[in-house]
Amino acid sequence: MLRHVMGDDKFFQLMRKFVADLPQQADTTDDFRRMANEIYGQVSLLFFAEWYDRAVFAHWKSMLW
């Protein structure tokens, strides 16, 4: 979904930067957010609020007949 929000160019720019930084440090989710904000802008804050911070997991019910 983040790729859809950012578009291919900026999303893959983010992925390249994230992977390039891995050997130097252990990145956290906050690091990833900061990188996304550097590349895409503050709009990505809405994405993380909706898709990560307030993630609601589906509750599945199995019905056996």
Domain ranges of the chain: 2-53
Instruction: State the sign of the Cα–Cα–Cα–Cα dihedral 7, 39, 30, 44.
Output: negative
Token pair for residue 58?
């589906």
11, pLDDT greater than 90 = yes
What tens digit of pLDDT does each residue of 16-55 get?
988 888 777 767 888 888 888 889 887 666 778 777 777 5
Q: Is the pTM of this model over 0.85?
A: no
